[in-house]
Each structure stands twice: as structure tokens, then as C-alpha cells.
Structure 1
Amino acid sequence: MSIYLFCNQRYGMPFVETAARFAAENQVRIRVVLSAGRRRPVARRLPRRLGSHARRWLSAYRKRRRWGLPVTIMSDVNSARFRASIGADDCGVIAGFNQVFEPATVQCFRSLVNFHPSLLPLYAGPVPSHRCLANGETTTGFTLHKVAETIEESHYLHQHPVPIQLGDDEHQLDHRIAEAATPVLWRWLKHCQNDAPWNPLRLQAEAIYRAHDQCETVPPAA
């Protein structure tokens, strides 16, 4: 079994650090996947292809040395080549990854979950911390949920509130949410490792967010 951690280099960093400790202590194979961002048209990419590949390889090499985990920088998580590399017993965890997983990719994993930085079903979609601050919220949180084409309450695995502090900006708030989520990540990795029972914890987001009437609910896409 391998566990894939799909993340970015801001919100995702506390998750990577926790995953690295977990892998070292439990002898579990965890692979970090960072997004290379949107691909430019081929004609625009060709002149820089070699330089871009070299920079990408060097970046992954440096991160692997720092974290002690295999690192891949991926431009298309839905490619046939990547799907073919996923084992039937492999699990995936998403923590701030700017690519949408197609249903065919989701189905390749034994389980695929996402740590979303808000209490769903409110503040779904992108930049939830930015929108919480803009709406004057005093509390937010995170939701660990199964990835599916349509997210329903039954997919929520764990929710936890996080107070918003005076002077928080979007990145500070995201970082504190991620840090609050790392103990749950550890438990989830244990769950993936040994199939231990998991008891979902769900909160009433409408009772926590005071400006929820300005928020959209979960969109159809995962």
C-alpha cells in the first residue's frame, strides 16, 4: 500500500511535515504530489521544455531531501500514465491541490479524501479563508470528507472548528487550520494503514458561521 498526499506549498506544508513523521515512525510508503499548475499550449512550452523539466526535477529533489519522502511535481493528475501507477490498495489525501480529480481517477484509489479549510456545506469551493475574513466570520474550521462527484453530508468524516484571530490574513488562517487538522491526518493515516474503525464527527456549520447566508453550498464537482 502507498499513500499519496496531494498538496500545495502553503496550506499543505503542515500536512507534509506530519506525513513525514508518520512514515518514519510506521514504515508506511507516503508519496508527496505537488501540482505543476495549468499546462500552457504546446507551442508556448517547447522553447522552455528542457529548462522547465530541469527546474522541476531539482525542486522535487530538494524537497525529497528535506522531507525524506518521494516527491512528484505533476501537471495532470488525471493522465492515463498516473492512473496506471495507482495500486488497488493505495489511498489518497488532498490538502490544497489545485487540480480537479476526475471520477475515473478517484475510482483508482481504495479511498480518496480531502481536508477542506471550512466547515461544509458552507464556504465550499476555492479560497474559503479569504471569504470568511471578507464576511467578518469569527470562527471557521476544516472538514475531512470523502471525494465524490457530489459531496453529501454522509461523506463528512470529521469537522473541527478553528477560531479566527484578530489580524489574521488568509495565509495565516489557512496555516492555523492546517495545523489544527494534522492530528486528524495522523489518525486517518493510521486508519488507512490498519483499517481501524472511524467514527465520523459532524458539526452544524449554520450554527457556527454568522454570515452563512452569503455562502454557497457544496458545488456538484468534487
Structure 2
Amino acid sequence: MDNSILEGLLDKQERITVADQIYLKTRELLMSGAVPPGEKVTLRGLAAVLNTSPMPVREAVNKLVAEGALEMLPSRGLRVPKPGLPKFREIVRIRCCMEGFAAAEAAKIMTDETVARIRHYADEFDRLGHKAKIDTLKTIEANRNLHFTLYEAAGMPLLVGMIENIWLQIAPLFSLSMGSKDRKSENWESFSHHAALLDALARRDAEGARAAIVADISDAALYIEKTGNLANT
């Protein structure tokens, strides 16, 4: 069959390279909060964990450095960024703007099915957060699923991509707002903020949804500041 006849009949398959796969896996690792801020990593270390050679890891790492998810050290090593207070506060303000906007837009076109999915993740977060021993990574995952199910419901993929990129820069800090022994899980403000969000979504209240998300982001940020785990700059 002539190739010209095939054109338009089949979708072109995107070519996923080894470096692309490593990039996505490393990005997911950083988004999970599993690697604490300030932690040093090496190309060889990442290659060993991912069971691959250093060359494709280097390509993936360069992309993550450009995105601000990793920073290159003078010694050619790598480190998970630990932002200083000014940068952290700037990121929080940007998050409040973008995520608040996404929540408001999503609320306007929210379906009952999506509300049910968000409620499922809120219930999961609540269950995990009230366990005697907190599984930080699973709790962070439930919280992330809740937020991004909401944001994706806005039907604005470019906005979701920008939110993902800003999360990538501070995701390692999220564990600090959940893993501290002096902050009992029953005192987490997120429980009430998630409840307020669900109430707003049920009423299709755009401004109520925005306010709940902004409050959730702001309270978690205030606690992270109090931990003293930001960089001294």
C-alpha cells in the first residue's frame, strides 16, 4: 500500500526515548515528596536506582534542572532545591493565583461524578491522616490526587501543566507539613479546607471553591515556614 494512502488514517505514535522515561520517573519521584529538600543526588545514584546507564539520566536531569526541580552544584553534583523564604513566598502567591483560578473554573462546570472522585480522595486523605502512624507518601499522594482531579476538571490543560511545574519545585517540602511530630494530624487544617471545598463544589460555588483552595495552600505554607526548613538566604 502506498504510504500516502496511510497518511491521515493512523495517529502518529509519539516516540518515547529512554531519557523521556527516566525524566518521567524522576519527576514523579520528586513530585511524591519522597526525596527531602536539600538532599544531594548523583547521576550514578539515579542510574543505579533506575537500572540504566548514566547517559540517558544526564539528559533527563538537565531537563529537570532547567525546570527548577533539581539544582546543579559546583561539584557537578545535584541537589533537591530548598528555597529560601522570599522564593517560597513567591511560589505560594503564584500557587494561590493559579490553583484558586483553576478551582473556580472547575466549580462552574463540575459534574457529580467528578465531585464524587474528589470526595473519595478527601476521604482517603482523612483516613490516612488519622492513622496512629502516618504514611507520609501515601497521604501526600491522596492530597495530590484530590487537587489535580479538581484542577483537571477545569478543562484547561495548559493551566494544569503550569500548576504541575510549580508543584515540582516545592513538592519535596510537602512532607514537612505532614511529617513533623509536633503537628498532630488531627490539627491539620486541610481536613476543614477539603470539607469546605466539597461543600462549595456541591453548590457549584466558584468563589467558595477558590477560597477553600487558597486557604489550604496558605495554611500549609505558614506551617512550613514555622518548621525552619527553608534555606537561609
* Pair in the same fold by TM > 0.5: no
Q: Which has the higher contact order (CA 8 A, sep 6+)?
A: 2
Q: State the structure with more CA Rg.
A: 2
Higher strand share: 1
Higher helix share: 2
